[in-house]
Structure formats: C-alpha cells, structure tokens
Amino acid sequence: MVLGSNQIWAPWVVDDIHAKADLGRYRIRGMSTHQKVTHFDDLTFLSTGLTRFPLEGYKEQCNTAVSLGGLNAENPLELDIPIYITGMSWGALSANAKTALGKAASMAGTASCTGDGGMLPAEREASDKLIYQVLPSRYGLNPNHMATAQAIEIVVGQGAKPGTGGLLMGVKVQDDVAISRDLPVGVDQRSPARHPDWLGPDDLAIKIEQLREATDWKVPIHVKLGACRVADDVKLAAKAGADGIVIDSMVAGTGASAEILLDHSGIPTVPAIVLAREALREIGLYRKVSLIASGGIRNGADVAKALALGADACAIGVAALIALNCNRDIPESNFEEEIGLPAGSCNRCHTGKCPVGIATQDPELTKRLDPDEGAERVANFLNSMTMELALLTRSLGKGDVKSLEPEDLAALTIEASIMAQVPLVGTNKVFGN
C-alpha cells in the first residue's frame, strides 16, 4: 500500500497542507462544498398506478404559479413559476451577467435578486420583478432603489458560508463596483458578519417594521438564513414578522469563500426544508409565512422534491450561471491557459479571471458574455425546469405544483428517510421518526 490510497492522508489532503504551508492562511475558492451529503437524488417520487390517476404529461393544465410573502404585504410577490434567481452581487458577477439574469427572469415570468453590492440599474431595468437585498454590509443600499423593489430580503446568513460576511477579492473591486460599494479600489473586501443596526430577533422585529414603513407595507419582507440551527432560527424570524423565509443550505454556491467554511458548516437542503416546515407548523405559520429553499437546485425534479417536502418556491444561483455558460468551453475561452483548470472543473470564481465573462470585472472578459444571448439560455433553462416540474406533478395525478406533498416521496437511503421524514423504499417505515 502506498500513501495515495490512505483514507486520512488522501492526495488532496497532502496538497492542501502543502498549499497552506506556502500561504500561511486559509484557502479561498468559489462554487460550493465538496462534501458528499444527502441530497434530492436520494429521494424518488411514487407516481400514479392503480391507486390514483395521472394527468396527461404533456397536455393537461398544470398550475405552476406561486404567490410569496402575502402575510402582511399589500402586493405579494406573484411568480409564474416557483423558481427565481437568487441574490448574487454585481461585483461577484459582471454587469452583463446580472443584466442577463434579470432579463431571463422576466422572460420566464419570475424574479431576480440584487446581492451584496447594491442595485445595478441595468438589472432593475431588465427585471420585471426584483428582490432587493438588505445585507450586513449595506453596500450600495439606497432607499430610492429600495422603493422600486417588488420584495425585500434581509440577509442574515448565506448557506455557503454561514456566520460570516461576503468576500470579494480586490481584483473585482474595481471602477463602478468600488464606487457603488464606497470601497477603496482594489481592496480585498471582507463584509461584516453582523448587521450594523440590529443584533437579535427582538431588534429584527423592529427592523422589519422599519422596512415595511419605508416601503409603505406594499411589498413582502423576507429573511434569508444560512441553514444551521434551522428550527430555532425559522421560528425567531417568523415571530419577528417575516413574510417569507429563505433557507439557504450548505450546498449553496458562492463567488468566494474560505474553503473551510464551504466544507465544514451548515446542513444540506433536504433536512433544512423539513426542519423549517416543522418549525413553522409548530407555531401555526406553515403556508402563511412563505418558505423558499435554495442550495443545489439543478433541475425540475429537485424543485418538485423541495416543494413536496414543504417549500413554496426555490431559488437558484449556480444552475443559472451554468446555463449562462459557466464552465463551458466557448470559442473565445482557453480555460487551461486563463484559469489553470479545464472547462467543467473550474471553481475559481474569486480570481476575477472567469473565461466566460460571468464572474469577472475585466472589460475584455466581460465582452465574452452577450446579455441577450445569455438571457435566452437562462430563460430556456428556467422553462425546461418548469416543464420537468409540471411533468412530474402530472405523473403524480396533480394539476398544481402546490399540491405536491411528502406522501409523494420515498427515500432511497436510510439517511434520506431520516432527514426527509419519508418512508424508505420497500418499507412503510420512516426511519428516525
């Protein structure tokens, strides 16, 4: 036996120690965790047979529209599909990428979301429905911009790096991005982890009221949580008055994070949804306070399973970027030369050298992403996901995605049965119940 086959001192562990011995600091990268976790692939749908009838998969109507945050808001967030584009900052992403995502969301009848860098005017123009984030950093926060939003999202934590603030390396803090954030050009930006004006849930309740007053009680106020102590956090956010809660799991993506946080904090999406659902049920607010799941949503099946477990909608980030051409070997790019990794393996969003013009502020690289073409690809992807979602829903004999429920699911592993609280396939037993 040689060292390479050792479970503890695997080749990548040895390489990691070498890198840290050279650097003297934690390592940073983009994308998401490399941990193997229970995910939606560990669940399967129990479609119709003799016990219930299917709907025609390609023809019969299936309602995919959802209404979010209607508990207190005069104008809930009405979406044609239960999928929207999550908050990703102008700064982490190029202006072309943000514009493309906004256009795509409008084309698909859904919303996009600002991120930790303020509102890009082009994204506002492109997005029929824009969710405006209020983050601990307050970079670029402008009440004039907030007044134009269709929903507000207070970010408490991010699944990829819960308990910490944003991170944007100096190579991306350039020109308009630096101006918008009021930061020195080229600084390695480490955002605050705590909000500047509130600390605990009692303060949050007053903060939520403040945002309602600022927006005349018209739009929903959501709270985004990194999925960690889900049950308690969800109850506290709901009691503080949130109209919707976004649970962002440990498999969610990021433009830059300390690798140690990506791999060693938070919990996966499946148990996060179930814990949030039960927490809301316990305080009588399930299906009153909207529940939005994010982290590792890749296709219509993931969305359908998230909805069946109890979410009202899903938010996507990495999947939308991949649809934009992330990790695709486009003619203008040379991944090996420009980023040091082949297309399909790149997780170096933080370097600002994105070969496809998405995660960069370099004017030449940005040109590689045409916002109109990009928008079409992302809109196609959103439509594909929605068709997959509707197909699965009809196969379960249901004509509305809101009718999906845990009973429609079975678990393929004991771990998934425990986390999803659905029976293990071949048994009637819900493990851990």
Partner 1 sequence: MVSLDASQMTTRELNSQIKELAANGTGKITISNPAARHNIAVGILTECEIEIEGSVGYYVATLLDGPRIKIDGNAGWALGENMMSGSISLTKSAGASVAASMRGGEMFIGGDAGARAGISMKGGTLIIGGDSGFLTGFMMQKGRIIVCGDVGDAAGDSMYEGTIYCGGEVGTLGADAKIEESTEGELIEIWSLLEANGISERPHFRKIVSQKNLYHYDEQERHERPLI
Quote the least distance from Cβ 256 to partner 1, whole Å: 10
> What is the distance between the alpha carbons of residues 297 and 214, in angstroms, rounded to a whole number?
33
According to the binding rule CB under 8 A, does residue 22 interact with partner 1?
A: yes
Q: Which one, 56 or 364, has the nearer CB to partner 1?
A: 364
Q: Which one, 129 or 350, has the nearer CB to partner 1?
A: 350
Q: Which one, 205 or 412, has the nearer CB to partner 1?
A: 205
Q: Are 269 and 227 in contact (CB under 8 A)?
A: yes
According to the binding rule CB under 8 A, does residue 206 interact with partner 1?
A: yes
> What is the distance between the alpha carbons of residues 306 and 316, in angstroms, rounded to a whole number?
12
- Out of 18, 65, 218, 340, the only residue in the binding site for partner 1 (CB under 8 A) is 340
Quote the least distance from Cβ 23 to partner 1, whole Å: 5
Of the candidates 273, 219, 269, 274, the one whose C-alpha atom is nearest the C-alpha of residue 242 is: 219
Instruction: Please name the residue that has the structure tokens 């995660």.
Output: 359
- Out of 16, 78, 188, 388, the only residue in the binding site for partner 1 (CB under 8 A) is 188
Quote the least distance from Cβ 211 to partner 1, whole Å: 8
Buried b (16+ CB within 10 A) or exposed e, 337-353: ebbeeebeebbbbbbbb
According to the binding rule CB under 8 A, does residue 185 interact with partner 1?
A: no
Instruction: Please name the residue that has the structure tokens 């998934």.
Output: 416
Of the candidates 65, 421, 382, 71, the one whose C-alpha atom is nearest the C-alpha of residue 223 is: 71
Q: Which one, 206 or 330, has the nearer CB to partner 1?
A: 206
Q: Are 324 and 378 in contact (CB under 8 A)?
A: yes
Chain centroid, CA 173 distance in Å: 23
Q: Which one, 134 or 315, has the nearer CB to partner 1?
A: 134
Q: Which one, 187 or 283, has the nearer CB to partner 1?
A: 187
Candidates 49-57, 80-88, 188-196, 397-405; binding stretch for partner 1 (CB under 8 A): 188-196
Quote the least distance from Cβ 254 to partner 1, whole Å: 15
- Out of 17, 23, 283, 330, the only residue in the binding site for partner 1 (CB under 8 A) is 23
According to the binding rule CB under 8 A, does residue 352 interact with partner 1?
A: yes
Residues 116 to 175 in contact with partner 1, rule: CB under 8 A:
137-138, 141-144, 146-147, 169-171
Candidates 50-58, 70-78, 344-352, 396-404; binding stretch for partner 1 (CB under 8 A): 344-352
According to the binding rule CB under 8 A, does residue 24 interact with partner 1?
A: yes
Residues 359 to 378 in contact with partner 1, rule: CB under 8 A:
362, 364-365
According to the binding rule CB under 8 A, does residue 48 interact with partner 1?
A: no
Q: Which one, 208 or 416, has the nearer CB to partner 1?
A: 208
According to the binding rule CB under 8 A, does residue 207 interact with partner 1?
A: yes
All residues at 6 or more sequence positions from 20 whose CB lies less than 8 Å from its CB, including other chains:
26, 27
According to the binding rule CB under 8 A, does residue 215 interact with partner 1?
A: yes
- Out of 57, 70, 192, 397, the only residue in the binding site for partner 1 (CB under 8 A) is 192
According to the binding rule CB under 8 A, does residue 183 interact with partner 1?
A: yes
Candidates 17-25, 64-72, 121-129, 274-282; binding stretch for partner 1 (CB under 8 A): 17-25
- Out of 4, 49, 196, 284, the only residue in the binding site for partner 1 (CB under 8 A) is 196
Count of residues interacting with partner 1 (CB under 8 A): 50
According to the binding rule CB under 8 A, does residue 210 interact with partner 1?
A: yes
Q: Which one, 365 or 379, has the nearer CB to partner 1?
A: 365
Q: Which one, 180 or 393, has the nearer CB to partner 1?
A: 180
CA angle 363–259–167, rounded 5-degree value: 45
Task: Sort strands 43-45 and 409-411 into parallel, antiparallel or unpaired.
Answer: antiparallel
Which residues of the shown chain bind partner 1 in the complex (CB under 8 A)?
A: 19, 22-25, 27-28, 137-138, 141-144, 146-147, 169-171, 181-184, 187-188, 190, 192, 196-198, 203, 206-207, 209-210, 213-217, 338-340, 348, 350-353, 362, 364-365
